[in-house]
């Protein structure tokens, strides 16, 4: 499995990154771990994330990763010198695995030198290549102080090794010359033009048989696809015809994936590897937690079983004594008489053996004595009657039953407490683990209030006066409708691509976003066509920010109820469907996902309740006192419980991947969250599983 960049990979990566990053400004630098740094570039609407791992790789990424809460000293040094600076050049040093990134020009320039060989390094220098900071310090046994010295070494083209001389007439020479020429062509093209990317994959069969199974029957297997290598070229050994000697050595399960660019291939390759490592780490933590819980349960079960054994044995002893009370009393009296006469225990034991050989019935009943012990215990108390000995065993049985009962009562509490602590620890481990999720590019309307109406129209509203002004001046086009209610704080709403009349959904949004929500006032909204909306009065004066004048007739809608809702939309991937090429972006969003859908993301949406009737995940919002943060947590927990009840693992993971900021910015403020009765029944039915899954 390929683990790091080669010189060819560096060449292919540099030429592509140069076309995408040069001219952008560095917005910030983050450290993922001690060797991996994330550079955030931006310019206008263009944003790029460059990930550099010292000694391993560099590529832009479409995946988000958890960053260190406290930046390292080296990261702070990079921020101090490079933040807000423009990237002016990016080049490879010769044909080596070294990259030079230049920020700014002239005497204000700074360089980042990245090494992709050995243990790697990242070096920050000024315009004269004087080192300002270094990620990994290398110490030598003998060193010469070089204060304020750039120490730029001259690279010698010659080598101290003797060249191997071969005959120019041999076939091996011609083959070598041809191969070197092809290699030179590959290097030349990688320096000049961006290349496609290829990932070599292989399939492996993994058995699903449980380790505890002792059966010899064949168990089902699952096929897993693993990434083996990445390349900027499809080399000869990866040809599908496998006619070459190199390709014949590859396993039959070997395939390759083709990407539009080498950068995307590298991002997919390493992100997949990171995700697999995180899955293994989470799985190991889960197995350890389950094993620890099982050990606690086994320990308490062993205690209960031990008490049960004591109860049964004491009862058997007591019953055995009661079955032969007269014989046992005779034995005890005989032993007492011999001891009273001054006979030693050793002599008594010899006497018992002698009488046993003579056929004495009482002697045969005595199996032996426990002698030579500083403290010894006998099964029968010779100074008590047989009945008293039986009563003693019954008393021991009663004590064992009492202890067993108390242990069983406390066992459930102890196991439950241990389970809670173990899963809390598991949740904290999973939370601190680095997570990798694909970055979703938001739609243009997500910065506003928005939803998809029951008539499948896009409805967008402004959150404040500034957004309302932007919405009308920039996005209100011919054929759209403008919706508003004459109430303080009401949102200016537009309905995109209206075909006939406006439904009540848009009016509900405008009313519920006004002060009518807090005052619990039922009122109406109106709509007008786009050409009726004006920013100036009849006298030509400009209206204040977020205020508009309607010229002509206002079309009033029926009074609306103050019933809102929160739901989940899922973005589907229809790239594999040829008929979906011209599909509208609204058709990529579904509130009722099917098992056959390839779901990419989950998007929370806050909308009138009437527009959410066909959604799979939804809760009702009524005027209340719950603030946005607590409401968002309550809604998230409800949706995760619904997903657990539906046994929808993929949907649950997508819902969990939604950032908290998206929930809080979407939900309505001062609400009461109401879950439908049907969803409550389903959640309670699977309550145990959902609670464990949410921890």
Least confident interval from 419-423, 499-503, 509-513 = 499-503
User: Which residues, 6+ apart, have CB-to-CB distance to 550 below 8 Å?
Assistant: 482, 484, 526, 528, 532, 533, 534
In this prediction, residue 211 has a pLDDT band, given cuts at 50, 70 and 90, of very low
User: Which residues, 6+ apart, have CB-to-CB distance to 49 below 8 Å?
Assistant: 38, 39, 40, 41, 60, 61, 62, 439
State yes or no: pLDDT of 344 exceeds 90: no
Separation of alpha carbons 439 and 448, rounded Å: 20
Least confident interval from 505-514, 546-555, 665-674, 682-691 = 682-691
User: Which domains are assigned to the chain?
Assistant: 7-134 (2.30.310.10), 276-439 (no CATH), 441-562 (no CATH), 563-695 (no CATH)
DSSP 183-208: HHHHHHHHHHS---EEEEEEEEEEE-
548: nearest Cα among 475, 488, 492:
492
pLDDT by residue (tens digit) across 366-411?
665 554 443 334 466 666 676 677 777 777 777 777 776 776 666 6
Residue 416 confidence (pLDDT): 74
Order of strands across the sheet with 110-115?
A: 87-92, 98-103, 110-115, 121-125, 131-134
State yes or no: pLDDT of 687 exceeds 60: no
Percent of the chain with pLDDT over 90: 29
Least confident interval from 236-245, 396-405, 431-440, 627-636 = 236-245
In this prediction, residue 504 has a pLDDT band, given cuts at 50, 70 and 90, of confident
Name the residue with higher pLDDT: 210 or 315. Answer: 315
Mean pLDDT, residues 296-303: 78
Residue 583 confidence (pLDDT): 42
Name the residue with higher pLDDT: 430 or 352. Answer: 352
Positive or negative: CA dihedral 430, 64, 133, 94: positive
- Secondary structure (H, E, C), 365-378: HCCCCCCCCCCCCC
Mean pLDDT, residues 427-440: 63
Separation of alpha carbons 534 and 537, rounded Å: 8
In which element (H, E) is residue 322 found?
helix 262-323
Separation of alpha carbons 658 and 649, rounded Å: 15
Percent of the chain with pLDDT over 70: 79
Residue 313 confidence (pLDDT): 75
Q: How many CB atoms lie within 10 A of CB 282?
A: 15
CB 178 within 8 A of CB 205: no
Separation of alpha carbons 114 and 53, rounded Å: 9
CA 456 centroid distance within chain? 33
State yes or no: pLDDT of 494 exceeds 70: yes
β-partners of residue 459 are 451, 495
Residue 216 confidence (pLDDT): 42
Mean pLDDT, residues 4-27: 93
pLDDT by residue (tens digit) across 62-100?
888 878 889 999 999 999 999 999 999 999 998 899 999
Positive or negative: CA dihedral 679, 680, 682, 683: positive
CB 449 within 8 A of CB 468: no
Collapsing DSSP to helix, strand or coil, 441 comes out as coil
The torsion region of residue 44 among left (phi > 0), alpha (psi -120 to 50) and beta comes to left
Separation of alpha carbons 47 and 219, rounded Å: 49
Mean pLDDT, residues 541-558: 88
Separation of alpha carbons 694 and 424, rounded Å: 10
State yes or no: pLDDT of 608 exceeds 90: yes
- Secondary structure (H, E, C), 14-50: HHHHHHHHCCCEEEEEEECCCCEEEEEEEECCEEEEE
Strands 589-590 and 599-608: unpaired
Residue 486 confidence (pLDDT): 82
């Amino acid at each position: 499995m390929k683990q790091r960049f080669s010189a060819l990979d560096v060449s292919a990566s540099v030429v592509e990154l140069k076309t995408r990053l040069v001219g952008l400004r560095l917005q910030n630098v983050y450290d993922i771990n001690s060797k991996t740094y994330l550079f955030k570039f931006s310019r206008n609407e263009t944003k790029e994330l460059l990930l550099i791992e010292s000694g391993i790789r560099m590529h832009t990424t479409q995946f988000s990763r958890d960053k260190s809460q406290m930046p390292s000293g080296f990261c702070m040094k990079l921020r101090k010198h490079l933040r807000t600076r423009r990237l002016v050049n990016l080049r490879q040093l010769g044909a080596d695995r070294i990259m030079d990134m230049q920020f700014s020009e002239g005497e204000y320039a700074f360089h980042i030198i990245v090494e992709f060989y050995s243990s790697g390094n990242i070096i920050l220098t000024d315009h004269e290549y004087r080192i300002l900071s270094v990620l990994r310090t290398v110490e030598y046994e003998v060193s010469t102080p070089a204060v304020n010295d750039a120490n730029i070494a001259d690279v010698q083209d010659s080598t101290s090794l003797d060249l191997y001389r071969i005959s120019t007439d041999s076939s091996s020479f011609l083959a070598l010359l041809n191969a070197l020429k092809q290699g030179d062509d590959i290097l030349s093209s990688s320096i000049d033009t961006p290349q496609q990317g290829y990932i070599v994959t292989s399939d492996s069969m993994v058995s699903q048989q449980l380790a505890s199974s002792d059966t010899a029957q064949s168990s089902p297997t699952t096929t897993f696809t693993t990434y083996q290598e990445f390349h900027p070229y499809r080399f000869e050994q990866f040809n599908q015809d496998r006619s070459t000697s190199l390709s014949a050595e590859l396993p039959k399960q070997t395939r390759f994936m083709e990407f539009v660019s080498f950068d995307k291939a590298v991002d997919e390759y390493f992100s997949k590897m990171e995700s697999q490592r995180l899955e293994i780490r989470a799985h190991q933590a889960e197995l350890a937690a389950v094993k620890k819980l099982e050990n606690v349960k086994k320990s308490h079960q062993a205690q209960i079983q031990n008490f049960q054994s004591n109860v049964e044995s004491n009862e058997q002893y007591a019953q055995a004594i009661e079955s032969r009370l007269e014989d046992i009393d005779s034995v005890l009296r005989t032993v007492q008489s011999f001891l009273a006469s001054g006979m030693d225990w050793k002599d008594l034991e010899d006497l018992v053996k002698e009488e046993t050989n003579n056929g004495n019935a009482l002697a045969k009943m005595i199996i032996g004595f426990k002698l030579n012990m500083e403290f010894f215990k006998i099964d029968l108390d010779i100074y008590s009657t047989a009945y008293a000995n039986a009563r003693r065993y019954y008393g021991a049985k009663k004590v064992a039953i009492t202890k067993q009962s108390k242990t069983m009562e406390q066992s459930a509490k102890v196991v439950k407490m241990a389970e809670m602590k173990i899963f809390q620890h598991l949740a904290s481990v999973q939370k601190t683990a680095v997570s990798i999720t694909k970055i979703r590019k938001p739609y243009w309307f997500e910065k506003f209030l928005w939803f998809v109406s029951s008539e499948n129209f896009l409805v967008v509203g402004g959150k404040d006066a500034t957004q309302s002004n932007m919405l009308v001046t920039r996005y209100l086009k011919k054929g759209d409708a403008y919706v508003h209610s004459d109430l303080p704080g009401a949102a200016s709403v537009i309905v995109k691509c209206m075909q006939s009349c406006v439904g009540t959904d848009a009016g509900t949004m405008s009313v519920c976003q006004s002060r009518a929500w807090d005052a619990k006032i039922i009122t109406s909204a109106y709509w007008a066509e786009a050409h009726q909306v004006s920013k100036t009065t009849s006298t030509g004066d400009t209206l204040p920010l977020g205020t508009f004048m309607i010229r002509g007739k206002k079309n009033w809608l029926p009074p609306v109820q103050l019933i809102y809702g929160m739901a989940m939309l899922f973005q589907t991937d229809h790239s594999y469907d040829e008929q979906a090429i011209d599909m509208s972006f609204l058709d990529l969003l579904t509130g009722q996902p099917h098992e056959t859908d390839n779901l990419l993301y989950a998007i929370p949406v806050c909308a009138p309740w009437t527009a959410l009737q066909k959604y799979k995940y939804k809760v009702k919002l009524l005027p209340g006192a719950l603030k946005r943060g607590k409401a968002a947590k309550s809604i998230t927990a409800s949706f995760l419980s619904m997903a657990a009840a539906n046994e929808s693992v993929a949907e649950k993971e997508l819902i969990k991947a939604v950032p908290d900021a998206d929930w809080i910015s979407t939900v309505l403020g001062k609400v009461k969250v109401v879950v439908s009765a049907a969803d409550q029944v389903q959640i309670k039915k699977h309550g145990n599983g959902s609670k464990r899954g949410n921890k």
